[in-house]
């Protein structure tokens, strides 16, 4: 078997955490390929190294002195090196970084150095080969990740390597200029490596013991999820689940490689398995609840709208013309409602309204702001009767007014719209009716 193991910033924030990580890797000889993040926070008021690098580079870009800030970053790494008892020196690396900062190599380059330097330390500590991600992960000229070229390069590069450390978060264009993924992109790198070596398992190690049914900031000690499918996690990630970067699913999904979310500080816990499909039933009817605040609804009314061919296209054209993406579009016989992100829409609202009038000639348009969307997701909902009824009953009992309900044709999820102020109460009510009643 071959396993790819990715460790998040909190798992690599200090020498003590590095030792835990090394013990985990050495405990299983199948953990052959390691993807490290940059050092995270050592304590609550600490600063992540990536943020330190951003701040340092911005000073350099503005032509200001940044030596003090760069020295502080170097000290963070030296603290880890000393704590691990290594003879490794990063002096030359920091000289190169200083020069490239002065030459204004770009924020992508600056941010990537956190993972790059941590990868060097990790490889030295484990005795693994270090592989610079800039040499094996490709981006297209337009900034998009080039999955097929990367897979070809990376699979060939790693084919004869028994063990390797591949830093997360970044790659490069064909010309060698460094490009990063979005924040949290080390998850994507782990998935890319897993696909390239055709791994049996991709273990993603973080500071929680898997994925929870609901946000622990809203629900006290929510129940863990044992197994979740790629499709379920995609729905939950889109609506706010942040344990795993949502784009990390695609490379492994193509190869059917399962992801195991594990806790660095509790390696004995089984964590959560993310799989393509499973015959295992969920512990509850639902798998998870997630949501976001900050939406608004644009309700368009027109008599006999349902008989007018192309009406929906005309309405959505108004949003497209002003580069506003929509979230959901529930409709009735004479009404159509478009849910959009409020912060994207509010500065363009009157332009969009005018465009809808011009393109679709509606009878009336009404806008409602400060809404939240909640996704109730679960493969078990397909075979369970009365799921929507239980949701409505729970929300009514909690005095929460439902603004919208939208169920996908896959019967995998139900989306509910509520006022921002009812967001937390709604999630608690749904959690209680599906989870607490079974405990």
- Provide the pLDDT confidence category of residue 409 given band limits of 50, 70 and 90: low
**pLDDT of amino acid 439:** 58
**Mean pLDDT throughout 81-106?**
97
Mean pLDDT of 249-258: 91
Kindly state the DSSP code that residue 291 receives in the 8-state scheme. E
The yes-or-no verdict on residue 383 having pLDDT over 80 is: no
- Examine the pLDDT at 168 and tell me if it is beyond 90: yes
Place of tokens 């030459």: 103
Give the three-state DSSP class for 300. Answer: strand
Q: Tell whether the model's pLDDT for residue 385 goes beyond 90.
A: no
- pLDDT at position 72 over 80: yes
Q: What value does the mean pLDDT take over residues 301-323? A: 94
The pLDDT value recorded for residue 194 is: 98
pTM of this structure: 0.86
Confidence of residue 236 (pLDDT cuts 50, 70, 90): confident
CA distance 40 to 18: 12
Q: What is the share, in percent, of the chain residues with pLDDT greater than 90?
A: 82
pLDDT at 410: 65
Rounded to an integer, the average pLDDT of 327-341 is 91
Give backbone dihedrals phi and psi of 334, rounded to 5 degrees, phi first.
-120, 10
Angle at 53 between CA 50 and CA 59, to 5 degrees: 150
Residue-level pLDDT at 105: 97
From residue 293, alpha-carbon distances to 32, 331, 373 in Å are 41, 22, 6
Task: Provide the greatest CA pair distance for the chain.
Answer: 77
257: left (phi over 0), alpha (psi -120 to 50) or beta: beta
Q: How far apart are CA 406 and CA 339, in angstroms?
A: 11
- Identify which has the larger pLDDT, 184 or 14: 14
**What is the predicted pLDDT for the residue at 218?**
94
Question: Under 8 Å CB-to-CB from 261, ≥6 apart: which residues?
Answer: 204, 206, 208, 210, 211, 243, 244, 271, 272, 274
pLDDT digits (tens, 9 = 90+) for 279-299: 877 788 899 999 999 999 999
| CB contact at 8 A, 45 and 73 | no
The domains found in the chain, sorted by start residue, are 3-275 (3.40.1160.10), 288-438 (3.30.2130.10)
Residues 291-309 have a mean pLDDT of 94
Q: How far apart are CA 74 and CA 39, in angstroms?
A: 12
| CB within 8 Å of 348: residues ≥ 6 apart | 322, 324
pLDDT, average across residues 262-283: 90
Residue bearing the bigger pLDDT, 185 or 68: 68
pLDDT, mean of residues 151-174? 97
How high is the mean pLDDT of the chain?
Answer: 94
Question: Residue 178 has what pLDDT?
Answer: 98
Distance (Å, whole) CA 375 – CA 46:
33
For residue 75, pLDDT over 80 is answered with yes
Give the per-residue pLDDT at 277: 87
């Amino acid at each position: 078997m071959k396993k790819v193991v990715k460790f998040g910033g909190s798992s690599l924030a200090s020498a003590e955490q590095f030792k835990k990580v090394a013990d985990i890797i050495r405990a299983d000889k199948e953990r052959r390929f390691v993807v490290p993040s940059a050092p995270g926070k050592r304590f609550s008021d600490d600063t992540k190294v990536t943020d330190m690098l951003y701040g340092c580079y911005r000073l350099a870009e503005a032509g200001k002195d940044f030596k003090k800030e760069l020295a502080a970053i170097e000290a963070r790494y030296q603290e880890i090196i000393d704590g691990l008892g290594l003879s490794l020196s990063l002096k030359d690396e920091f000289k190169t970084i200083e020069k490239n900062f002065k030459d204004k190599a770009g924020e992508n380059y600056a941010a990537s150095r956190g993972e790059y330097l941590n990868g060097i330390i990790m490889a030295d500590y484990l005795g693994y080969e270090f592989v610079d991600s800039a040499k094996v992960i490709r981006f297209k000229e337009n900034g998009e990740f080039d999955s097929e070229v990367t897979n070809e390069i990376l699979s060939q590069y790693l084919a004869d390597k028994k063990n390797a450390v591949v830093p997360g978060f970044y790659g490069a264009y064909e010309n060698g200029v460094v490009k990063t993924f979005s924040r949290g992109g080390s998850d994507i790198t782990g998935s890319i490596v897993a696909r390239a070596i055709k791994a049996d398992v991709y273990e993603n190690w973080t500071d929680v013991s898997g994925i929870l049914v609901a946000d622990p900031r809203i629900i006290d000690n929510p129940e863990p999820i044992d197994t979740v499918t790629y499709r379920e996690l995609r729905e939950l990630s889109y609506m706010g689940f942040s344990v795993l970067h949502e784009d990390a699913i695609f490379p492994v999904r193509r190869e059917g490689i399962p992801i195991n979310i594990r806790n660095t500080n509790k390696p004995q816990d089984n964590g959560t398995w993310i799989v393509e499909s499973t015959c295992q039933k969920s512990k509850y009817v639902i798998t998870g609840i997630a949501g976001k605040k900050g939406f608004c609804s644009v309700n368009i009314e027109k008599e006999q709208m349902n008989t007018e061919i192309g009406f929906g296209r005309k309405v959505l054209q108004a949003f497209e013309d002003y580069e506003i993406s929509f979230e959901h579009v529930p409709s009735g016989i004479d009404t159509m409602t478009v849910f959009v992100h409020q912060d994207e829409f509010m500065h363009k609202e009157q332009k969009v309204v005018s465009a809808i009038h011009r393109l679709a000639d509606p009878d009336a348009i009404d806008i409602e702001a400060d809404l939240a969307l909640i996704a109730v997701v679960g493969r078990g909902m397909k075979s369970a009767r009365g799921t929507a009824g239980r949701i409505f009953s729970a929300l009514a009992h909690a005095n929460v007014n439902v603004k919208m309900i939208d169920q996908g044709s896959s019967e995998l999820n139900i989306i509910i719209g509520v006022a921002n102020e009812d967001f937390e109460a709604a999630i608690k009510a749904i959690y209680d009716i599906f989870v607490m009643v079974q405990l």
